[in-house]
């Protein structure tokens, strides 16, 4: 099973709505955990990351290029829902700050 399929299975197990079990949402989880296709889940990290960095991670590690102007799509389809479900948190900076970042919450699952 690919890492993307594993991430989507994780989302399913966490009982997120079907719309948040998409490829895009799976890639967001992989980027937030810094999991590349050959990595083990036990090597996941929990660093602060910008949406721009999520897009770069997906492109560099999974070969799927999203346009830079798709940040709002990431926000609406994944980030917003994951924050509401408390799977991720932001660093409390102003949303228009270049230092605004997200990470997985410490106690998910």
Give the pLDDT of residue 95: 85
Tell me the C-alpha to C-alpha distance, in Å, between residue 33 and each of 16, 40, 54, 96, 97: 18, 11, 10, 24, 23
> Looking at the domain assignment, is residue 84 inside a domain?
yes
The DSSP code for 68 is: G
Is a pLDDT exceeding 60 seen at residue 109?
A: no
Is 30:7 a contact under the CB 8 Å cutoff? yes
Q: Give the span between the Cα atoms of 79 and 15, in whole angstroms.
A: 16
Q: Where are the beta strands (DSSP E) in 38-109?
A: 88-90, 102-104
With tokens 């890492």, the residue in question is 3
CATH number of the domain enclosing 42? 1.10.10.1820
Asked if residue 109 belongs to a domain, the reply is no
Residue with tokens 């991430």: 7
Higher pLDDT among residues 106 and 1, named by residue: 1
What was the pLDDT predicted at 68? 82
Q: Indicate whether 88 belongs to any domain.
A: yes
- Listed residue (77, 69, 75, 109) closest to 90, CA to CA: 75
pTM for the full predicted model? 0.92
Q: Is 21 inside any structural domain?
A: yes
pLDDT tens for 16-71 read: 999 999 999 999 999 999 999 999 999 999 999 999 999 999 999 999 999 989 99
Structural domains counted in the chain: 1
């Amino acid at each position: 099973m690919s890492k993307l399929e594993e991430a989507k299975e994780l989302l399913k197990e966490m009982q997120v709505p079907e719309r948040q079990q998409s490829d895009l949402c799976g890639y967001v989880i992989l980027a937030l955990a810094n999991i590349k296709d050959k990595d083990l889940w036990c090597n996941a990290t929990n660093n602060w990351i910008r949406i721009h960095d999520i897009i770069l991670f997906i492109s560099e590690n999974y070969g799927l290029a999203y346009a830079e102007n798709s940040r709002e799509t990431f926000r609406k389809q994944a980030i917003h829902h994951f924050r509401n479900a408390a799977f991720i948190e932001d660093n409390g900076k102003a949303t228009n700050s270049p230092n605004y970042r997200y990470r997985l919450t410490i106690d998910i699952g």
